[in-house]
Amino acid sequence: MAGLPGAPRTRSGSPGPYAALPALDGAFLRSPLGGLMVAQAVLGLLVWALIADTTYHLHAAYGWVMFVSIFFWILTVLFFVTYLLQLPLKFYMIPWPLVLMIFNATATVLYITAFVTCAAAVQPTSWRQWDYNRRAAASFFACLTMIAYGVSTFFSFRAWKGLGSNAATSQVTDHA
């Protein structure tokens, strides 16, 4: 690491102790996409935590809801960490805006099915009242998560198409 060009160095000229650590992107946290990813992670966590705290194994419909919520929660956290650590700059050959748009569109569609499944499976005459309350709350949060993924799909689509950038940025990226 000491001989690599571009490695951060201290005043003495030796590489710093944090030369291999990527920098955190504070601008991403303040962006709409970063805020939506945080919301998706929190809301998705609420969905699967509420379902997991019930007797979901007795109803096959909740297995699908658990799969969708846990699967997309894990992927959302991975994408969030990827963007927070600015890893798309290191792996520039991957079309990140397209990948993120496809991810968000897929999550939106599957969360629609999970929300409908979860809401349809809530039985108001349940013999376990706490299960009813948790399942109803999980349906509500699944709806909010679905909306958050839908809005992220819109922003991802705009980023993929290059909408919202200035003329200088689009000229540099189009002709470089």
109-135 b/e (C-beta count within 10 Å ≥ 16 → b):
ebbbebbbbbbebbeeeeeeeebbebb
100-154 pLDDT tens trace: 999 999 999 999 999 999 899 887 765 666 778 888 899 999 999 999 999 999 9
- Rg over CA atoms, the chain: 21
pLDDT score at 123: 77
pLDDT score at 3: 43
Q: Tell me the DSSP string of 27-59.
A: HHHHSHHHHHHHHHHHHHHHHHHHHHTS-GGG-
Residue 68 has pLDDT above 70, yes or no: yes
pLDDT score at 121: 85
Any residues with CB less than 8 A from the CB of 134 and at least 6 apart, and which? 50, 51, 53, 54
Q: Where are the domains of the chain?
A: 28-91, 94-164
Q: What is the mean pLDDT of residues 20-43?
A: 86
pTM above 0.85, yes or no: no
Average pLDDT across the chain, whole number: 82
